[in-house]
A and B are shown apart, each in its own frame.
Chain A
């Protein structure tokens, strides 16, 4: 039974660098979500896809952030010109109906 997988699990980068994260959802799930979680907070919604279409984006998703799901399967989240405030856990989830199943997350540290 394969769940949601994310790669890498940890990323340390210097301010100003670009980073890209990958998410592989549960295979039969057509919806994919990205969330961000900082210390002491619950996850905050960033964006979601239905198949390859990006249907909603949060105000949190500045123009430095871009997400894609080119073939309706895996997704990538890219952050350009990283800032220290981008340090967080980036979580991916997938669903076929309303129940969302999360991956293990990518911990980003921006120095």
Chain B
């Protein structure tokens, strides 16, 4: 059973389109992090959300943490080919457990076509 479900698993869009990817769990997390990973490289941290209902913006990327701290979404406006990559969500402090062990979803593989 995957603790963090990410959807969709694959997404292919044209440059300029908007998109939203989701990260859902039945468990409560103390914080949730979003990463972007390119082939053959390690994940790069994009944002950390901590408070239920929190919204953070990073240029064209908007991240939201659910009120119950069980789910999160990432919205990209006017996607560009440079946004192509594997987007991973990772939760820490599952159900009051260790804040240091990250539980990852399988990721959403995004391809933005020129």
Contact = CB atoms under 8 A, between A and B. Distances in A.
Nearest to A31: B100
Interface residues of A, number: 26
A42 interface: yes
A91 B42 contact: yes
Nearest to A105: B42
B1 interface: no
B106 A107 contact: no
B99 interface: yes
B104 A103 contact: no
Given A56-B98, A100-B33, A45 B45 contact: no
Given A99-B33, A100-B33, A102-B43, A42 B48 contact: no
Interface residues of B, number: 24
Interface string B1-42: 000100000000000000000000000000101010000111
A15 to B, nearest CB: 23
Contacts of B90: 42-43
Interface of A: 4, 6, 31, 33, 35, 40-45, 48, 55-56, 91, 93, 95, 98-105, 107
Given A6-B42, A56-B101, A102-B35, 15 more contacts: A4-B42, A35-B102, A41-B106, A42-B106, A42-B107, A43-B90, A43-B102, A43-B104, A56-B98, A98-B31, A101-B45, A102-B42, A102-B44, A102-B45, A107-B40
